[in-house]
Structure 1
């Protein structure tokens, strides 16, 4: 259990740093929007309602592709790594969605919020947004671990790019369904969770064979 706790702290620190820096940038952007009244800052602030998903995806891609071998070299076990990533998968998704909800609420009070409600859907639907965050984190882990090592390098890179595109296409599908087709929104979120569970299971299975590079 001590090994799992140490591994959890090892992974939690860079995730907290990335989400913390993103939040600081958001508040700076919001402050500049209020001080300058420039549309560019208010429109940029709205983007944070789905950029937290990008930060989460990239964090888990980095964890699985680079931090896992590093943790192993520091004495972590494969089991402790898998446990730590599963905990952060859920907790990190909650935190990222929490910041997304905060960004949406604050943006609604700005000059651009009323005319860009479509862009705020990830923050205006907390449960659905959490499902989306779970999916984005899982695709990051899958891209970092679960693609066959026997594939040619070019094929592996191409597959990761396709997975990345498919993952972030779901942000726009999410917003479209939440805004225009709410009757399909709940089934879609259920499908996101199912796909996330399958992707994370594939990543966890691949991590059983992780090695120090």
Structure 2
């Protein structure tokens, strides 16, 4: 991966504020006080006199994620849980690494639009529009290409090449969240299999199999 291109991508994603869906801040910053027992929509602010550079810093985005798993992909997130200074600022980042034929499976971000930039390799990406159209909007991306996934819509990325791929994503929330299709079958406690069998119009044995595959103890 070219370091110059990586720097350009990170600057572009970090400087754009038009996608932010979180409320606008009312002060310069509100560094998250993760030790506070007070529960709010986000985190309460640390005393600004106790803030330092480490509250706005993360290191290691240049390191490839481990793609040695069943999906052949790895997402390295940088949100308010990694950088406390992101609290109230309405942005976060992610690095996605893909092994050959690796997939970032269908999922949604309930609180954020995502803009993805391919750094290395070739990706087949797409999202599904909501009812009643349910259209698949998709494209093949190469290094330097950019694609947008609207907030809340199911989307995916697939490395269709024989070499690894890398992408950087910018998301319009300090904590975008992630819901995968497999979460239906791996919830704790489980959804009654009869409900899912009826919903998907399949035999209950199929649901039993999927719940075993995606159970809480088998989610890697």
TM category (shorter chain) comes to under 0.3
Greater per-residue helix proportion: 1
**Structure with the greater relative contact order (CA < 8 A, sep ≥ 6): 1 or 2?**
1
TM-score (norm 2): 0.21
Greater per-residue strand proportion: 2
TM-score (norm 1): 0.21
